[in-house]
């Protein structure tokens, strides 16, 4: 069976040379290899094609057959590596906390230990008839987060 380390050894140098970063390598039991790469300005399809060709030229299908998919993670996919979080500062995100609560807001900052998002929410103020828009800041440590996804606001 093809291993994650084999694929990592093949692509690491090329990914770093081109200024991109590896998000994930997943090898399913049916030998389906999924490689996700990203960049601060996204990843052009041409780079995904060249990375796919590099992997194909380094693995022998005569020894072991496999299915290969090389792409960048799409919007709505959970953020997995720290550099993805940094890339998304200023973007709309949805945080799913370990307690099951969902929070939507703007990703304001990222540290080694967690993230800060700001949420605009209409809140009923005591003594007032109408709800007022307030900005609420939420601090999360990475240990308290189940997933964070970039969202699109229409």
Q: How big is the chain by its Cα radius of gyration, in Å?
A: 20
Dump pLDDT digits (tens) for 56-109.
999 998 888 999 999 999 888 999 999 999 999 999 999 999 999 999 999 999
Same domain, 42 and 89: no
The answer to whether the beta carbons of residues 117 and 106 sit under 8 Å apart is: yes
Per DSSP, the residues of 67-113 read: EEEEE-PPTTSBP-SHHHHHHTTTSEEEEEETTS-EEEEEEEEE-SS
Mean pLDDT of the 136-142 span: 96
Of the three residues 71, 95, 129, the one that is the final residue of a domain is 71
- pLDDT surpasses 80 at 27: yes
Which pTM does this prediction carry?
Answer: 0.86
Same domain, 133 and 86: yes
- Please give the tally of structural domains in the chain: 2
116 in a structural domain: yes
What CATH code is carried by the domain that includes residue 126?
A: 2.30.30.100
Residue 54 φ then ψ, to 5°:
-65, -45
**Which range of residues forms the domain containing residue 92?**
82-150
109 in a structural domain: yes
- pLDDT surpasses 80 at 154: no
């Amino acid at each position: 069976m093809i291993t994650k380390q084999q694929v990592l050894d093949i692509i690491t140098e090329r990914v770093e040379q081109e200024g991109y970063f590896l998000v994930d390598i997943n090898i399913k039991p049916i030998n389906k290899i999924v490689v996700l790469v990203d960049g601060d300005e996204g990843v052009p399809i041409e780079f995904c094609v060249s990375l796919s060709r590099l992997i194909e030229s380094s693995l022998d299908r005569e020894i072991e057959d496999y299915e290969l998919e090389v792409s960048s993670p799409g919007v709505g996919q959970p953020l997995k590596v720290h550099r993805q979080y940094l890339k998304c500062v200023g973007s709309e995100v949805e945080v799913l906390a370990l307690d099951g609560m969902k929070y939507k807001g703007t990703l304001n900052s990222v540290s080694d230990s967690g993230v800060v998002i700001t949420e605009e929410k209409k809140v009923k103020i005591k003594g007032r008839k109408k709800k007022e828009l307030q900005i609420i800041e939420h601090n999360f440590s990475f240990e308290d987060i189940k997933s964070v996804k970039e969202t699109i606001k229409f």
